[in-house]
Amino acid sequence: MAILELKNISYSYKVGKPVLKGISHSFESGKIYGIIGQSGSGKTTLLSLLAGLTDPTSGSVEFNSSNLKDINKYKYRSQDVGVIFQSFNLLPNLTVADNIILSMDASRKKFGQSKKEIVTNLLRRVDLDLSYSNKKILHLSGGEQQRVAIARALSYDPQVILADEPTGNLDTKTQDEIIDIFTELARKDNKCIIIVTHSSEVSSHCDGTLQLEKKRK
Amino acid sequence: MFIFKNALCNLIRTKGRTVLISVIVIAIAVASSIAMAINNAAVWAKQSELENKTITGSISVDREKMMQKAMSNTGQNGARTLINSQNSGIDEITLETLEKYADSSHVQSLRYTDSISASANSDAFQKLSSVGTSGQSTRTGGPGGGFGGGQTQSDFTLTGYSSADAMTNFTSGAEKIVDGEIFEFNSADYNCAITKELADYNKLSVGSTFTVGNPNNSAESYTLKVVGIYKQESSSSTSNNSREEDIMSSSNNIFANYKTVADIQEKSKATAVSKTVSGPGGQTIESSSVFKPRVSNTFVFNSKSNYDAFVSEVRQKGLSEDYTISSADISNFESELVPLENLSKFTKIFLLVVLLLGAIILSVINIFNIRERKYEIGVLTAIGISKPKVITQFVVELLAVTIISIVIGTGIGATASVPVANALLSSQVEAQKSKSETTQQNFGRERMREGAQNTQGAIPGNANPFGTSNNAKYIDKVNATVNLTVLLELIGIGILLVTIASIASAGFVVRYEPLQILADRN
């Protein structure tokens, strides 16, 4: 059964032609999906629609058969979906741990262990030294920030992980590790992983892909 | 709530912004706490000071209404007419009525005096006069040469007192017995007290007797016995013609008990003669030679609230608006309060300006703050924190720094409020004195002839038209302390300022969409 479903969605910005037109696709738990396409084909826009950050101009995005328009999108974003943004969108004044804990707090979920322990486990999982825990984001490199962004998206155990070029700033070794994490999340934890990527290496690990064509010229 | 924790952590993370807002709020709090402390002190002084003091008040005929009614009743348009109870239809208040009003739980006591104008009727007892040596006793009557208008010129003022308490100049020390003792008050014993000047001038001593007459009826003669000789303590060393006349006039005051004066009036009635004379407007006036009493009354209250309650009560009991109820104590106290009230008005305006500027500055800072933190708003809403929660976080941040700063500012204000308030009040007192002096110099006299009137008891129409004299005592020290009330009021104001500042910033937060913010950033 599909956990997320695009039903004939179209999207256009205020000025210009539609970026997305008549897209339909289903996403199931326990699988990894790749959204691929040229630059400007609307991959990130589609990810924003899936994340509930904006609404489609027509059609609908459904989560567990409920139209996102009809549910509390703040609750959806804070509990059900974890987004790894292309530019990470971490708070620069906060430490690594604070950024991760803030997302856990926002989810209002109860955790079996302390939040600090979760942070420690997550940092290990994304291969970041524990000494980074108290470092401010500003002092981290792009690759390190990307790992923190992944750790933040995983911290509150969402059912769906949306990742926009999650391996773009990582070396091959770390890229493989991240793909392994996503694979493990899908296979073992039955999560639905949707990755926007240009990388053929990443798309080769996907169970299905959604190819987008460039609509605007 | 993680929002509160996050808000407080943000205050520490963004020290520069926190310090900037703190400095502004502390400045507002210091200025406001001093202004509010002064206002509270003024209100406290006005409300509480009189509550712990004995207040005196009196009922008298409203002279303005009497004049209006007299003019109206005699049909005189532009022509002169006599202004008296007969023409106006407004009777002088009687002792019986006063005693009825005094029968109240609000009244501590009633004191009254009755004054009549007497004349010298022998060479053995003459008035003191500022002109020449032995002033010739004049018996000039009213218009038409008689006593018709009741405007007779007298030599002496004989005042009868209801009790020792009514002799306020003696109780205050303005006048003192220097020989003998004061008379008793329980019977018409014809004992009296005279001034030392009058006694020396007429070579009288304790035990001597003298006679006075009725200026309107030469057949009347009354013998009084001197049991006390008193001296007036002069309050001013400055001398000019007016002042000299005042002293001479008050030297001719004779004091007795009320019953003696009432008895003289009764006897005067028995031998009274009447005559008809022409008034100033040509009207015919029927007049009697009988002594015209001038009853003055003083009600004593143990607090201002009792005085206020009495005013309402006597109006309910039927005292018409033709009579006024006034208190010299309250008027004097209000005069003393003038500089403090001026300062209080100034500080109220200052407070409003400070709060208005504070609200504008805080709003502007908060708007800039929100715009600066646009990205943070985008991230917080993108990870699922609702806009109301984001607004709450910002409000908590501003509220926390505001309240902490208000407490610090109020502490500084508490230290500075008393000296600053007294320094400001002192300059107000000086300004008030200077204004008063200038006014009096312009009128060519230092102070009004307060001594010219018999100040024992209340005398209607004796108000100083210059307001307060330069000898008036002003309240020049106030205990403008910052108390818990001021602190709570300031915190209330702080919440109001934060609310105003937050409303502006909340509009921005609501308008921002996370996707737009993050896209712009990228």
Task: Answer yes or no: is pLDDT of B434 > 90.
Answer: no
A98 CB neighbours in chain B (<8 A) are 9
**Percent of chain B whose predicted confidence (pLDDT) is above 70:** 80
A106 CB neighbours in chain B (<8 A) are 2, 380, 383-385
A8 and A22 Cβ atoms separated by less than 8 Å? yes
- What kind and span of H or E run contains B424? helix B387-442
Rounded Cα–Cα distance for residues B85 and B90 (Å): 5
pLDDT at B450: 40
Rounded Cα–Cα distance for residues B402 and B498 (Å): 8
- Nearest to B159, CA basis, from B454, B458, B452, B460: B454
Q: What is the mean pLDDT of chain B?
A: 79
Residue A69 has a CB neighbour count (10 Å cut-off) of: 12
Mean pLDDT calculated for residue range A87-99: 92
In a domain, B417, yes or no: yes
Residues B291-328 have pLDDT tens digits of 887 888 889 998 888 999 999 999 998 888 888 998 88
pLDDT at B146: 41
- Nearest to B348, CA basis, from B24, B36, B47: B36
In angstroms, what CA-CA distances link B147 with B141, B214, B445?
5, 11, 33
Q: How far is B356 from chain A (nearest CA, A)?
A: 33
pLDDT at B353: 92
When scoring A89, A93, A101 by the number of chain B Cβ atoms within 10 A, the one with the most, hence best to mutate, is A89
B98: phi then psi, degrees, rounded to nearest 5:
-60, -40
Residues A1-45 have pLDDT tens digits of 799 999 999 998 876 778 899 999 999 999 999 999 888 888 989
Answer yes or no: do B259 and B139 share one domain: yes
- Bridge partners, B128 (sequence order): B134
Q: How far is B505 from chain A (nearest CA, A)?
A: 20
Rounded to two decimals, the ipTM of the complex is: 0.92
pLDDT at B238: 46
Q: How far is A166 from chain B (nearest CA, A)?
A: 16
Rounded Cα–Cα distance for residues B397 and A83 (Å): 28
Q: How far is A124 from chain B (nearest CA, A)?
A: 22
Task: Answer yes or no: is pLDDT of B92 > 90.
Answer: no
Residues B16-45 have pLDDT tens digits of 889 999 999 999 889 888 888 888 877 777
pLDDT at B468: 40
pLDDT at B455: 37
pLDDT at B501: 83
Q: Supply the angle between the helices B2-13 and A96-107 in degrees, to the nearest 10.
A: 160
Answer yes or no: do B121 and B239 share one domain: yes
Residues B193-214 have pLDDT tens digits of 999 999 999 999 999 999 999 8
Higher confidence at residue A16 or residue A90? A90
- The single residue listed with the structure tokens 């009096």 is B440
Residue where a domain stops, chosen among B273, B300, B327: B300
Residue where a domain stops, chosen among B300, B318, B347: B300
Answer yes or no: do B279 and B363 share one domain: no
- What kind and span of H or E run contains B498? helix B484-511
Answer yes or no: do B349 and B498 share one domain: yes
Rounded Cα–Cα distance for residues B107 and B86 (Å): 31
Q: Does B397 touch chain A (CB under 8 A)?
A: no
Q: Under an 8 A CB cutoff, do A94 and B384 touch? A: no
Question: How sure is the predictor about B52, in pLDDT bands with cuts at 50, 70 and 90?
Answer: confident
Mean pLDDT calculated for residue range B5-13: 88
Task: Answer yes or no: is pLDDT of B239 > 50.
Answer: no
Provide the residue type at A37 as one letter: G
Rounded Cα–Cα distance for residues A202 and B133 (Å): 130
When scoring A80, A94, A104, A148 by the number of chain B Cβ atoms within 10 A, the one with the most, hence best to mutate, is A94
Rounded Cα–Cα distance for residues A111 and B374 (Å): 30
Residue A181 has a CB neighbour count (10 Å cut-off) of: 20
Q: What is the mean pLDDT of chain A?
A: 90
A102 CB neighbours in chain B (<8 A) are 2, 6, 380, 383
Q: Indicate the range of A49-58, B67-76, B179-188 predicted with least confidence.
A: B67-76
pTM above 0.80, yes or no: no
User: Nearest-CA residue of chain A relative to B2?
Assistant: A105
In angstroms, what CA-CA distances link A151 with A119, A128, A144, A167, B131?
8, 10, 11, 13, 111
Instruction: Specify the length of chain B in residues.
Output: 522
**Percent of chain A whose predicted confidence (pLDDT) is above 70:** 98
pLDDT at B454: 38
Task: Measure CA B429 to chain center.
Answer: 16
Q: How far is B518 from chain A (nearest CA, A)?
A: 8
Rounded Cα–Cα distance for residues A150 and B121 (Å): 120
What residues of A are in the B interface, CB distance below 8 Å?
A: 48, 51, 53-54, 74-79, 83, 85-87, 89-91, 93-94, 98, 102-103, 105-107, 152
Task: Answer yes or no: is pLDDT of B152 > 80.
Answer: no
Q: In what order do the strands lie in the sheet with A66-67?
A: A20-28, A2-11, A58-63, A66-67
Instruction: Return the half-sphere exposure (C-beta side, CA atoms, 13 A cut-off) of residue B38.
Output: 33
Q: Indicate the range of A196-210, B23-37, B376-390, B437-451 predicted with least confidence.
A: B437-451
Rounded Cα–Cα distance for residues B206 and B323 (Å): 41
Q: Indicate the range of A72-86, B44-58, B228-242, B354-368 predicted with least confidence.
A: B228-242
Rounded Cα–Cα distance for residues B289 and B212 (Å): 15
Q: Supply the angle between the helices B338-372 and B484-511 in degrees, to the nearest 10.
A: 30
B384 CB neighbours in chain A (<8 A) are 74-79, 103, 106-107
Answer yes or no: do B444 and B398 share one domain: yes
Task: Among B14, B386, B518, select the one facing A93 at the smallest CB separation.
Answer: B14
Q: Under an 8 A CB cutoff, do B384 and A74 touch? A: yes
Cα torsion B101, B103, B104, B106 to 10°: value is 90
- The single residue listed with the structure tokens 């989810």 is A107
- Nearest to B226, CA basis, from B244, B206, B198, B242: B206
Q: Under an 8 A CB cutoff, do B382 and A94 touch? A: no
pLDDT at B219: 84
In a domain, B82, yes or no: no
Task: Answer yes or no: is pLDDT of B76 > 60.
Answer: no
Rounded Cα–Cα distance for residues B124 and B115 (Å): 23
Rounded Cα–Cα distance for residues B90 and A152 (Å): 93
Answer yes or no: do B158 and B247 share one domain: yes
Q: Under an 8 A CB cutoff, do B379 and A89 touch? A: yes
pLDDT at B305: 87
Task: Among A90, A98, A107, select the one facing B384 at the smallest CB separation.
Answer: A107
B373 CB neighbours in chain A (<8 A) are none
In a domain, B435, yes or no: yes
Most confident of B19-28, B51-60, B285-294: B19-28
In a domain, B42, yes or no: yes
In a domain, B8, yes or no: yes
Higher confidence at residue B106 or residue B518? B106
Q: Does B6 touch chain A (CB under 8 A)?
A: yes
A88 and B375 Cβ atoms separated by less than 8 Å? no
- Nearest to B382, CA basis, from A31, A103, A41, A65: A103
B379 CB neighbours in chain A (<8 A) are 89-91
Answer yes or no: do B143 and B281 share one domain: yes
- Nearest to B127, CA basis, from B245, B267, B1: B245
pLDDT at B85: 58
User: Nearest-CA residue of chain B relative to A49?
Assistant: B515
Answer yes or no: do B125 and B254 share one domain: yes
Task: Among A53, A105, A152, select the one facing B514 at the smallest CB separation.
Answer: A53
Q: Which domain holds residue B287?
A: 111-300
Mean pLDDT calculated for residue range B54-77: 77
Q: What residues contact B367, with CB distance under 8 A and at least 6 apart? A: B504, B505, B508
Radius of gyration of chain A (CA): 17
pLDDT at A215: 65
Domains identified in chain B, total number: 2
Q: Supply the angle between the helices B387-442 and B374-382 in degrees, to the nearest 10.
A: 140
A86 CB neighbours in chain B (<8 A) are 522
User: Nearest-CA residue of chain A relative to B517?
Assistant: A89
A65 and A82 Cβ atoms separated by less than 8 Å? no
pLDDT at B459: 36
pLDDT at B147: 45
A93 and A172 Cβ atoms separated by less than 8 Å? no
Residue where a domain stops, chosen among B251, B276, B300: B300
Q: For B17, left (φ over 0), alpha (ψ -120 to 50), or beta?
A: alpha
B380 CB neighbours in chain A (<8 A) are 102, 106
Q: Indicate the range of A84-88, B20-24, B451-455 predicted with least confidence.
A: B451-455
In a domain, B80, yes or no: no
Task: Answer yes or no: is pLDDT of B150 > 80.
Answer: no
Question: How sure is the predictor about B89, in pLDDT bands with cuts at 50, 70 and 90?
Answer: low
In a domain, B326, yes or no: no
Go through A34-43 and write b for each residue having 16 or more CB atoms within 10 A of its CB, e for each that does not.
bbbbeeebbb
Answer yes or no: do B120 and B250 share one domain: yes
Task: Answer yes or no: is pLDDT of A58 > 90.
Answer: yes
Answer yes or no: do B384 and B510 share one domain: yes
Answer yes or no: do B23 and B152 share one domain: no
Task: Answer yes or no: is pLDDT of A83 > 50.
Answer: yes
Size of interface A-B (CB pairs under 8 A): 57
Answer yes or no: do B151 and B7 share one domain: no
Higher confidence at residue A36 or residue B90? A36
In a domain, B411, yes or no: yes
Looking only at the bridges linking them, the beta strands covering A2-11 and A58-63 are: antiparallel
